[in-house]
Amino acid sequence: MNRSACLIFNPVAGQGDSDQDLASIRAILEPEIELDIQLTTKEIGAEQLARAAVKRGVDTIIASGGDGTLSAAAGAVVGSNIPFGIISRGTANAFATALGIPDTIDGACKVILGGVTRTVDAADCNGSPMLLLTGIGFEAETVEKADRQAKNRLGVLAYILAGLQELRNFENFDVEIETEEKVIKTSAGSVTVANVAPPSSILAQGPAGIIADDGLLDLTIVAPVNKAGAIAAAFHLFQSASVGNAAERSDIGYLRAKQFKITTDPVQKIVVDGELLGTTPVEIRCIPAGLKVFVPSIEEEEPTEKLEGLPNLIIEEKQPASD
Nearest Cα to Cα of residue 87 among 153, 69, 79, 72: 69
Average confidence (pLDDT) over 125-139? 90
Are both 67 and 92 inside the same structural domain?
yes
How sure is the predictor about 300, in pLDDT bands with cuts at 50, 70 and 90?
Answer: very low
User: In which domain, by residue range, is 167 found?
Assistant: 128-286+298-317
Average confidence (pLDDT) over 212-233? 89
Out of 86, 115, 144, a domain closes at 115
CATH number of the domain where residue 261 is located:
2.60.200.40
Check if the beta carbon of residue 262 is closer than 8 Å to that of residue 56: no
User: What does the radius of gyration of the chain's CA atoms come to, in whole angstroms?
Assistant: 19
Nearest Cα to Cα of residue 172 among 231, 234, 225, 233: 225
Residues of the chain with pLDDT > 90, as a percent, come to 59
pLDDT in tens, 260-279: 999 999 999 998 988 888 99
Out of 115, 137, 169, a domain closes at 115
Lowest average pLDDT, out of 116-130, 156-170, 183-197, goes to 156-170
What pLDDT is recorded for position 1? 56
Total residue count of the chain as it appears in this document = 323
Check if the beta carbon of residue 75 is closer than 8 Å to that of residue 129: yes
- DSSP β-bridge partners for residue 119: 292
- Share the mean pLDDT of the chain: 87
- Return the SS3 of 223: coil
| Per-range mean pLDDT, top range of 132-136, 201-205, 222-226, 315-319 | 132-136
The helix or strand, by DSSP H or E, that contains position 20, with its residue range, turns out to be helix 18-29
pLDDT in tens, 56-100: 999 999 999 998 899 999 999 999 999 999 999 987 788 998 899
pLDDT for residue 302 is more than 70: no
What pLDDT is recorded for position 266? 95
Are both 163 and 277 inside the same structural domain?
yes
How sure is the predictor about 158, in pLDDT bands with cuts at 50, 70 and 90?
Answer: very low
Are both 309 and 161 inside the same structural domain?
yes
Are both 75 and 182 inside the same structural domain?
no
Lowest average pLDDT, out of 5-9, 56-60, 300-304, goes to 300-304
What pLDDT is recorded for position 303? 53
Out of 90, 115, 140, a domain closes at 115
Are both 176 and 49 inside the same structural domain?
no
Average confidence (pLDDT) over 284-304? 78
Check if the beta carbon of residue 216 is closer than 8 Å to that of residue 265: no
Name which residue leads in pLDDT, 315 or 110: 110
How sure is the predictor about 154, in pLDDT bands with cuts at 50, 70 and 90?
Answer: very low
Check if the beta carbon of residue 133 is closer than 8 Å to that of residue 260: no
Average confidence (pLDDT) over 223-249? 84
CATH number of the domain where residue 80 is located:
3.40.50.10330
pLDDT for residue 259 is more than 90: yes
Are both 67 and 134 inside the same structural domain?
no
What pLDDT is recorded for position 256? 95
- For residue 120, being part of any structural domain is answered with no
Check if the beta carbon of residue 197 is closer than 8 Å to that of residue 205: yes
How sure is the predictor about 147, in pLDDT bands with cuts at 50, 70 and 90?
Answer: low
Residues 6+ apart with CB under 8 A from 32: 1, 3, 113
- For residue 322, being part of any structural domain is answered with no
pLDDT for residue 321 is more than 90: no
pLDDT for residue 198 is more than 90: no
Are both 184 and 309 inside the same structural domain?
yes
